[in-house]
Amino acid sequence: MAALLREFCTILHVHLIAVFDLIRQLFTPHCYAKGVVNQNGHIAIVTGGASGIGFETTKKLCTNGMRVFIASRSEEEANDAIERIRRDDPEASVEWMYLDLASLMSVRRCASTFKSYDLPLHVLVNNAGVMIPPFMKTEDGFELQFQVNYLGHFLLTLLLSDLLIKTGVHNKCARIVNVSSVAHICEDLDMNNLIDRTFYGKYSSYSNSKFAIILSSYRLHQKLMTRGNHVTVNCVHPGVVNSELFHHYHWALQPLRRICAMLHVLKTPEEGSETSVYVALSTELEGNGGLYFANCVAEKSSSRTYDKCLQNELWDRSIELASVTEKELFYD
């Protein structure tokens, strides 16, 4: 009963936060990525880059001269996305590689595949995600949202960190962009019971996964900066966007979502991608990391995201859960 009550409170909290964010979107001019210059063939990976916000991010990175790898599960969906991008920009350099974030083995294979190309890596956009699905466990035994939104990206980032470190130079840092959400404010993360909850609350699980993204992003940026590496790590909230993430939203609320989209209360995926592109490419942010952005502006995330002890606890637990070896740690 207590767990049900907590989840009910989380649902209310998430929707109140969403309403507040929608009101803010209505009365705040939409900001576009500023200070973006041609990237001259620099390399980027965008997870979930074949649809929604990820597709628009991929498209804009290509437009700005990047060679982009879409990391996603569906080759058919990726090929369709590539075709649409090249229809508008025949010179776009974009290709696909397989990644299933619900499989840590797939994450390892994806990182290995990219490394076999012997390329630098200038930008990693951890964009893919799922929102409030029915309870599912991954092949690794984790709740789906925790692994797809957080743990899979955590492992992918660590496995590619050596390339990012090698690529980043003074005055031209490599960049990691982690897509989180304002819903992180509603978290109830319990470090003592991170995985084996007896009750599945899909809203709290979603909020916790987005909270974990910010905690580990801040910790990773600190580790990189302490070592003098030229790699920055930032988080973004894309806004309340009319995207495929709402696929699992309750059927009774779907008409309201469609009305909000028609009235342009919700952001379009193209608008939602602007902050990711800004953080990935803008010269205004050169060397700046450990920040949280919304509508292309740095903001404060929830106070608990700055808890150093919690950051360290989550980091150490994530290393253990993802079975990261000492060899795979860039700082050992």
The 3-class secondary structure across the chain, one letter per residue, is: CHHHHHHHHHHHHHHHHHHHHHHHHHHCCCCCCCCCCCCCCCEEEEECCCCHHHHHHHHHHHHCCCEEEEEECCHHHHHHHHHHHHHHCCCCEEEEEECCCCCHHHHHHHHHHHHHCCCCCCEEEECCCCCCCCCCECCCCCEHHHHHHHHHHHHHHHHHHHHHHHHCECCECEEEEEECCHHHHHCCCCHHHCCCCCCCCHHHHHHHHHHHHHHHHHHHHHHHHHCCCCEEEEEEECCCECCHHHHHCCHHHHHHHHHHHHCCCCECHHHHHHHHHHHHHCHHHCCCCCEEEECCEEECCCHHHHCHHHHHHHHHHHHHHCCCCHHHCCCC
Beta bridge partners of 170: none
Q: What is the CATH topology of the domain spanning 2-326?
A: Rossmann fold (3.40.50)
Beta bridge partners of 175: 123, 232
| Percent of the residues in the chain that have a pLDDT greater than 90, as a whole number | 74
pLDDT computed for residue 9 by the predictor: 84
Instruction: Taking residues 262-285, report their average pLDDT.
Output: 91
Residues near 131 by Cβ (< 8 Å), separated by ≥ 6? 145, 206, 245, 246, 247, 248, 249
Active-site residue, 306 included:
no
**In the chain, where are the structural domains located?**
2-326
pLDDT computed for residue 261 by the predictor: 63
Candidate from 9-23, 132-146, 270-284 with smallest mean pLDDT: 9-23
| Percent of the residues in the chain that have a pLDDT greater than 70, as a whole number | 91
Give the model confidence (pLDDT) of 152-196 as tens digits.
999 999 999 999 999 999 999 999 999 999 999 998 887 666 665
Query: Taking 90 as the threshold, does the pLDDT of residue 252 lie above it?
Result: no
The answer to whether the beta carbons of residues 268 and 297 sit under 8 Å apart is no
pLDDT computed for residue 260 by the predictor: 64
Annotated catalytic residue, options 203, 206, 218, 292: 206
Give the pLDDT band (50/70/90) at residue 266: confident
CA 330 to chain centre: 21
Give the model confidence (pLDDT) of 209-227 as tens digits.
999 999 999 999 999 999 9
Q: How far apart are CA 187 and CA 183, in angstroms?
A: 8
Give the pLDDT band (50/70/90) at residue 293: very high
Query: Taking 70 as the threshold, does the pLDDT of residue 230 lie above it?
Result: yes
Q: How far apart are CA 114 and CA 121, in angstroms?
A: 9
Evaluated on CA atoms 187, 189, 194, 199, the torsion sign reads negative
Tell me the residue type at 134: P
Q: What is the mean pLDDT of the chain?
A: 91
Give the model confidence (pLDDT) of 123-134 as tens digits.
999 999 999 899
pLDDT computed for residue 180 by the predictor: 98
Tell me the residue type at 155: L
What tokens does 281 get?
Answer: 């490419």
Give the model confidence (pLDDT) of 23-67 as tens digits.
898 888 889 999 999 999 999 999 999 999 999 999 999 999 999
Give the model confidence (pLDDT) of 236-251 as tens digits.
999 988 877 666 666 5
- Tell me the backbone φ, ψ of residue 93, rounded to 5 degrees: -105, 100
Q: What is the pTM of this model?
A: 0.94
Give the pLDDT band (50/70/90) at residue 257: low
Q: 144's torsion region: left (phi>0), alpha (psi -120 to 50) or beta?
A: alpha
More confident residue, 256 or 137: 137
Query: Taking 90 as the threshold, does the pLDDT of residue 85 lie above it?
Result: yes
Q: How far apart are CA 98 and CA 109, in angstroms?
A: 9
